[in-house]
Amino acid sequence: METKVDVLGLDGKKIRDISLPSTFQTVYRPDLIRRAVIASSANRKQPQGRDPLAGTRNTAVSRGSGFGRARVPRIRGGGTRKVDQGAFVPMVVGGRAAFPPKVWKNIKEKINKKERKLAIKSAIAATANETLVRLRGHQFEEGLKLPIVVSDELEDVSKTKEIIEIFKNLKIYPDIVRASTKKIRAGKGKMRGRKYKRKKSILIVISSLNKDILKGARNIQGVDISYVEYLNAEKLAPGGHPGRLTIWTESAIKQIE
């Protein structure tokens, strides 16, 4: 059964309607979406480990029993304050790590190609489900029909203030306000370059990456822009939670199939 969707202008008014691709009728599979997101994030990680010789570059040897003290390896030699101090073993200061992370450990997650494609299609379909979008925390005015399809004029808007005005016309500006706040992270991440946690807001899907909207929307917190062929489950369902509030340009909708 063919489904029609309204194409909106930059003023938020209907211009025409077009047929919605069959991808938007894909069955909802949150399990596959979660798997695809985990695989995508895991495969971006950089392997990290320890120097295999860390804590072992010394002259420490154990003298065995019979000396009235612990049998840990001790530094040999003379003339330095380190002489006779415990070394090499994990339980002493400056010793080696007991079970350090290995750089050759396989931290990648695999997913079948067909499962990954089905996950992306399911995540695309979830963007048209108002219940899932609201459950994810997105805020927009009542009466808005999903999915949101806008004319290709949106791709040529290069001013941030103009894009914000377009969001107001499309009745989705409340979600920009929601995502404009940031929260201080709890834990040691504050000391590791990730002090703040920021929310995800609107995803704009365009037909080509060489568009002016890349400059206009990049300064709006929480807003992401993606080309149709670069769509993945992580962009459509950040954190593995489907139902992201998404704007599609008319050309992008035609390229989905």
Closest C-alpha to 164, from 144, 180, 142: 180
How confident is the model over 127-138, as a mean pLDDT?
Answer: 96
Task: Say if residue 130 is in the same domain as residue 76.
Answer: no
Task: Say if residue 113 is in the same domain as residue 181.
Answer: yes
- The size of the chain, in residues, is 257
Burial of 120 (0-12, 13-18, 19+ CB in 10 A): buried
Task: Say if residue 16 is in the same domain as residue 132.
Answer: yes
Helix (H) or strand (E) holding 5: strand 3-8
Note the pLDDT of residue 35.
97
Q: Tell whether 102 is covered by a domain.
A: no
Task: Say if residue 182 is in the same domain as residue 72.
Answer: no
pLDDT one-digit tens code per residue, 168-214: 999 999 999 999 999 999 999 999 999 999 999 999 999 988 888 99
Residue 48 corresponds to which tokens in the numbers above? 């990290």
CATH of the domain at 25: 3.40.1370.10
The per-residue pLDDT of the chain, averaged, comes to 94
Task: Answer for the pair 149, 6: CB distance below 8 angstroms, yes or no.
Answer: yes
How confident is the model over 131-142, as a mean pLDDT?
Answer: 96
Task: Say if residue 35 is in the same domain as residue 63.
Answer: no
Residue 78's pLDDT band (cuts 50, 70, 90): confident
Around 161, how many Cα atoms within 13 Å sit in the side-chain half-sphere? 0
Residue 12's pLDDT band (cuts 50, 70, 90): very high
Distance CA 119, CA 236 (A): 10
Asked if the model's pLDDT at residue 89 lies above 90, the reply is yes
Task: Say if residue 72 is in the same domain as residue 142.
Answer: no
Asked if the model's pLDDT at residue 257 lies above 80, the reply is no
Note the pLDDT of residue 196.
96
Q: Work out how many domains the chain is built from and give that number.
A: 2
Its pTM stands at 0.86
Distance CA 34, CA 105 (A): 23
